[in-house]
């Protein structure tokens, strides 16, 4: 039986909640008096449909049914879960809760997206305060898993546990906040950073862009996969968290920030932090934590690199400089297949057997081919002009096994070329021995017309000397093979 979620308030957060439930198979009814609510939620949902399935290695189930209600009463009737996401005004929330509880079933969880109010404040004057609690998410709700679940002393713990189960079922991480406090956990932390950032800008120390770069080029990447305390545990080295605290604890009293109301730095605080850190991360050695950190950072950075964003843009620019040096005039040896790419087998390239997966062999060949195209001038600027080489046919042979950490070299031999065609033979080498070869035929295409056309004269001027020189090279034994051909 399909369950129903009622979303009260269809702004950015409410729309994100609607998308999260809907794409996880729930029927969703939204109430929002804004005449543009349906359009706005439709746009959020379109983004969610494009993004959320990309996180899963399992096909998404059938999407639920989305409807819009004219009243709160209509929205919450028959709902199994209710999420309030109206404006941050306590009087407004109280009125909304009163209307919800006139029609909602007894015991139906009512979560609030509030970023600041405590649950005891939300429950004031409610007909049934025990089912109202904080379920504070982070934007975009349909992608980020965190939801701070904050009950009060009046909360029904069975309702809280049921709500946490529901949140897990739609792919979220319910963080149970043990004590109610203004702004919960995450926003208090963000507020401290925000205040200090405002001072840095006001005092002329940094611009908004410089502050953002400091976060996304450095500690923001570390926080994204280890948080605060585990990051500092690693910083303490083999001596651990106590060593880190001893080194940097006294800094709390230094005038580094505008936030000078700090806890007393004493043995009790050190023991408390160190003990919790041991419980959190003590099952890993520092070297293990470092390797986990490095692997996660590689994943983050490569994702950013693929999108030419943040720290990934720095990596792309660095690659471009190195590539320019590698392919400088006179540095390309035409008497052998061109060495076009250097790669290392990364954790994400490995399958369940511990070997490099087939898609990554093709990726390695693509990297090698792309480097050749950049060499002859058929680069991204050329593509922006409306022309490109499209791969029309590919044949791959697996000759060996590449494993985690192996360094690979991609070489390419031009078997033949003319105005419209480019016939390539790529070898993926480990220690000079091929672990795979890829033969491909590329066609030069007018992208607007959708058909082949001659390459630009300046591209041919760089390509044809390579093709002419490679005519003198021995034809690779695997060139021209068909699938299943005996050696």
Interval 168-225: pLDDT, tens:
999 889 999 999 999 999 998 888 888 888 888 888 888 888 898 998 888 888 888 8
Confidence (pLDDT) at 209: 86
Domain boundary among 233, 262, 291: 291
- Provide the pLDDT confidence category of residue 254 given band limits of 50, 70 and 90: confident
Confidence (pLDDT) at 66: 98
Q: pLDDT at residue 144 above 70?
A: yes
| Domain presence at residue 424 | yes
Q: Which residues contact 195 (CB under 8 A, 6 or more apart)?
A: 258, 259
What's the total number of domains in the chain?
A: 3
Looking up tokens 């926080």 gives: 223
Q: Is the separation of the CB atoms in 125 and 100 below 8 Å? A: no
Please indicate whether residue 422 or residue 259 has the higher confidence score (pLDDT). 422
Residues 151 and 24 in one domain: yes
Q: Whole domain around residue 444: which residue ranges? A: 333-470
- Provide the pLDDT confidence category of residue 256 given band limits of 50, 70 and 90: low
Domain boundary among 148, 176, 204: 176
Confidence (pLDDT) at 420: 97
Confidence (pLDDT) at 108: 97
Domain boundary among 176, 200, 226: 176
CATH of the domain at 131: 3.40.50.720
| Domain presence at residue 338 | yes
Residues 378 and 272 in one domain: no
Residues 21 and 146 in one domain: yes
Residues 21 and 136 in one domain: yes
For residue 31, give the H/E element and its range.
strand 27-31
Cα three-residue angle 368-349-290, rounded to 5 degrees: 115
CATH of the domain at 389: 3.10.129.10
Q: pLDDT at residue 142 above 80?
A: yes
Confidence (pLDDT) at 321: 66
Residues 447 and 353 in one domain: yes
Confidence (pLDDT) at 345: 87
Residues 145 and 99 in one domain: yes
pTM of the model as a whole? 0.68
Q: Is the separation of the CB atoms in 423 and 415 below 8 Å? A: yes
Residues 247 and 380 in one domain: no
Residues 242 and 141 in one domain: no
Residues 367 and 249 in one domain: no
Q: pLDDT at residue 324 above 80?
A: no
Residues 12 and 130 in one domain: yes
| Domain presence at residue 325 | no
Residues 34 and 116 in one domain: yes
pLDDT in tens, 1-14: 789 999 999 998 99
Residues in the chain, total: 487
- Provide the pLDDT confidence category of residue 370 given band limits of 50, 70 and 90: very high
Pairwise CA distance, residues 120 & 149, whole Å: 13
Q: pLDDT at residue 17 above 90?
A: yes
Q: pLDDT at residue 26 above 70?
A: yes
| Domain presence at residue 483 | no
Residue 341 CB neighbours (<10 A): 23
Looking up tokens 């001596």 gives: 239
| Domain presence at residue 351 | yes
Burial class (CB in 10 A: 0-12, 13-18, 19+), 157: exposed
Q: pLDDT at residue 271 above 90?
A: no
| Domain presence at residue 317 | no
Q: pLDDT at residue 139 above 70?
A: yes
Pairwise CA distance, residues 474 & 38, whole Å: 65
Pairwise CA distance, residues 194 & 189, whole Å: 9
Residue 229 CB neighbours (<10 A): 15
Residues 25 and 65 in one domain: yes
| Domain presence at residue 419 | yes
Average pLDDT (366-374) is 92
| Domain presence at residue 407 | yes
Confidence (pLDDT) at 294: 66
Pairwise CA distance, residues 266 & 367, whole Å: 55
């Amino acid at each position: 039986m399909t369950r129903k979620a009622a979303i009260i308030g269809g702004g950015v957060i409410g729309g994100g909640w609607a998308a999260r439930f809907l794409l996880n198979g729930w029927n969703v009814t939204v109430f929002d008096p804004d005449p543009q609510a349906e359009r706005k939620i439709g746009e959020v949902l379109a983004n969610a449909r494009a993004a959320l399935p990309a996180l899963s290695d399992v096909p998404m189930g059938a999407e639920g049914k989305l409807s819009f209600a004219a009243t709160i009463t209509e929205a919450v009737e028959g709902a199994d879960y209710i999420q309030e996401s109206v404006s941050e005004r306590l009087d407004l929330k109280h009125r909304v809760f009163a209307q919800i509880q006139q029609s909602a079933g007894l015991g139906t969880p009512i979560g609030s997206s509030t970023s600041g109010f405590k649950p005891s404040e939300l429950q004031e004057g409610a007909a049934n305060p025990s089912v109202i609690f904080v379920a504070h998410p982070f934007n975009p709700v349909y992608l980020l898993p965190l939801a701070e679940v904050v009950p009060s002393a009046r909360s029904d713990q069975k309702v809280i546990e049921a709500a946490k189960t529901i949140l897990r079922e739609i792919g979220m991480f319910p963080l149970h906040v043990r004590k109610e406090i203004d702004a919960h956990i995450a926003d208090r932390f963000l507020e401290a950073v925000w205040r200090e950032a405002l001072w840095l800008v006001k005092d002329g120390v940094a611009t908004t862009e410089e502050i953002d770069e400091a976060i996304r080029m450095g500690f923001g990447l570390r926080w994204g996969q280890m948080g605060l305390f585990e990051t500092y545990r690693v910083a303490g080295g083999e001596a651990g968290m106590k060593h880190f605290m001893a080194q940097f604890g006294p800094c709390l009293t230094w005038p580094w920030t505008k936030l000078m109301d700090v806890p007393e730095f004493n043995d009790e605080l050190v023991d408390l932090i160190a003990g919790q850190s041991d419980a959190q991360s003590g099952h890993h050695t520092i070297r293990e934590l470092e390797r986990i950190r490095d692997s996660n950072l590689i994943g983050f950075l490569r994702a950013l690199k693929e999108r030419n964003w943040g720290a990934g843009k720095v990596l792309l620019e660095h690659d471009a400089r190195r590539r320019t040096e590698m392919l400088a005039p006179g540095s390309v040896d035409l008497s052998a297949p061109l060495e076009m790419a250097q790669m290392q087998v990364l954790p994400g390239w490995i399958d369940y057997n511990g070997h490099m997966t087939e898609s990554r062999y093709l990726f390695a060949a693509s990297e090698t081919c792309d480097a050749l195209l950049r060499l002859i001038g058929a680069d991204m600027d050329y593509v922006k002009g409306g022309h490109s080489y499209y791969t029309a046919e590919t044949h791959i042979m697996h000759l060996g096994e590449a494993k985690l950490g192996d360094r690979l070299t991609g070489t390419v031999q031009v078997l033949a070329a003319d105005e419209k065609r480019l016939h390539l033979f790529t070898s993926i080498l480990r220690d000079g021995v091929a672990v795979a070869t890829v033969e491909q035929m590329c066609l030069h295409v007018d992208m607007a017309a959708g058909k082949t056309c001659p390459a630009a004269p300046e591209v041919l001027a760089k390509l044809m000397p390579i093709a002419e020189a490679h005519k003198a090279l021995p034809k690779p034994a695997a060139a021209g093979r068909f699938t299943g051909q005996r050696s």
